[in-house]
Amino acid sequence: MTAFKKLTLTEPELVQQLQSKDPAVLKTLYSMYSSAIYGVISRIITHTELAEDVLQETFVKIWQSAAHYDNTKGRLFTWMMNIARNLSIDKLRSKDFKNSLKNQDIENNVSFVDEQNKVTFNPDVLGVKQLVDNLKPDLQAVLDLVYYKGFTHVEAAEKLDLPLGTVKTRIRLAIIELRRNFN
Amino acid sequence: MSVENLKAYIESGVLELYVLGDLSPEEALQVEEMAAQHPEVKAEIAAIEQAIEQYAMQNAVEPSADVETRLLEKLGLSEVEPEKTVKPTPPVAQEASVIPFDESAGKVRILRYALVACVALLIISTAALFITYSKLNDAHDQIASLNLDKQKFAGVVSKLEFENQGLSNMAAMADSQEWATINMTGQPFSPASKMKVYWNKKDKSVLVNYVAMDLPKTDQQHEYQLWAMVNGKPVSLGVFGKNDSTSNEALVKMQAIQEAQAFAVTIEPMGGSINPTMDKLTVMGGV
């Protein structure tokens, strides 16, 4: 929590340096946010190598399109996270990704399949999982799809066979639940 | 917009989708307009953003260390840090940039050893190939000379067989009462020549034996013709080849003749002549 507060304090500075293309800011930005952003990416793309590629692409894009960030529209992290999510979903739907699935060698495939089936016991996700597990199952299902799998709410509605409005409400309720947990 | 409507708008879930980047550009623009007009909306968005951000922070996963290095390299910012720091620490910076390569350096080392081993193997293989090749050449030479010997011996053997057959036939015919042996002697054209003709008294068949002849050599256009002298007239009994004929048969059957007073051989053009060429009369002998 303290780390989080410290970040919020420095955010305007970060934005200012980022937009003036101060080379040193990238390292700071990376050390502050790379693991949080990688957390988002690696849940959408379970293949480590590809996920790390997307992480790199994300920071390249953050660096190159810093001028487009408008702090009146939202937080820096939201902007960065959405870049990461969009690149991840693009990657997930790309030929590249589909080929990489075909080309898994056996060694990688074991852990890949494990990750796919969430059989492994990943300590990084443990706390969150518990947190999300506290949600009601129907809220959890929606949040799983949208946050972990990179689904849009329209896709989630199709997948869960629910009206769009219901999916939207459940996303909202899930996030309210999260807000309550954090506060 | 009324307070109720604003509340409904906030509760519709559209702001969450906005923060999650799950709205079309037009929808996002509407949300931004709403946020600009209504501080409640702006506050709600900020709260959602904070929740999502905290959620992401708690879900953080550490990427492997080389992603940062690759990123800085890709953006050409690798050397930025030493300049920025007050105390430049090139060794540390150097170390930091070296670490990610350790793994590949190990691979390169292994590959280098593999390359050396390959080159060594190649040299050994080439040497072995040359030795084998020269041995193979020796073997080929030996096979060729052995083949030559073999052909020579085969030639000797067939010649011996041929002579043996002729001699044994001659011996058998000499013993037999059925066969008359006519000795023909050299004539002025070829005084040194001699030859034997065998004439069967019963069926009147005539044989010549290549082993039992010594005739002058003929050229490609000529061969021998055997004649029988019947009441002073020559009757052709057929032609026969050179005495060094490759034919396996030592004995050649000529045409039969009922009666004859003498036999003679002339050299005639290939295929024989109707009348003997008397100046090429080689051998002749009376019965």
Q: Where are the domains of chain A?
A: 2-117, 123-182
Interface probe for A, chosen from B31, B59, B69 (most Cβ of A below 10 Å), is B59
Determine the average pLDDT of the residues in B86-106. Answer: 51
Q: What integer pLDDT is reported at residue B125 of this predicted model?
A: 95
Condensed to tens digits (0 to 9), the pLDDT of residues B229-239 reads 888 888 999 98
Task: List CB contacts (< 8 A) between A175 and chain B.
Answer: 16, 48, 51-52
ipTM exceeding cut-off 0.90 for this assembly: no
- Mean pLDDT of all residues belonging to chain B: 83
Half-sphere exposure (CA, 13 Å, Cβ side) for B86? 0
Cβ contact, residue pair B63, A38, below 8 Å: yes
**Which stretch, A95-99, A157-161, A170-174, B120-124, has highest mean pLDDT?**
B120-124
What is the CATH class of A2-117? mainly alpha
Q: What integer pLDDT is reported at residue B133 of this predicted model?
A: 94
Cβ contact, residue pair B61, A74, below 8 Å: no
CATH architecture label of A123-182: Orthogonal Bundle (1.10)
Determine the average pLDDT of the residues in B61-86. Answer: 73
How many domains would you assign to chain B? 2
HEC sequence for A43-100: HHCCCHHHHHHHHHHHHHHHHHCHHHCCCCCCCHHHHHHHHHHHHHHHHHHCHHHHHH
* A106–chain B Cβ distance below 8 A for any pair: no
Condensed to tens digits (0 to 9), the pLDDT of residues A113-152 reads 444 444 344 445 545 555 555 677 788 788 878 877 778 8
Q: Which residue of B has its CA nearest to A29?
A: B68
Are B283 and B225 in contact by the 8 Å Cβ rule? The answer is: no
Q: What integer pLDDT is reported at residue B278 of this predicted model?
A: 85
Window A:36-75, CB contacts with B under 8 Å: 36-40, 42-43, 48, 51-52, 55-56, 59-60, 63, 72-75
Q: What integer pLDDT is reported at residue A29 of this predicted model?
A: 87
Give domain status of residue B105, yes or no.
Answer: no
Torsion angle of C-alpha atoms B66, B70, B72, B75, degrees rounded to 10: -170
Give domain status of residue B222, yes or no.
Answer: yes
Interface probe for B, chosen from A54, A83, A168 (most Cβ of B below 10 Å), is A168
Quick one: pLDDT band at residue B119, thresholds 50, 70, 90? very high
Distance from CA of A151 to the nearest CA of B (A): 9
Same fold, A2-117 and A123-182: no
Give domain status of residue B134, yes or no.
Answer: no
Which residue range forms the structural domain that includes residue B37?
3-58
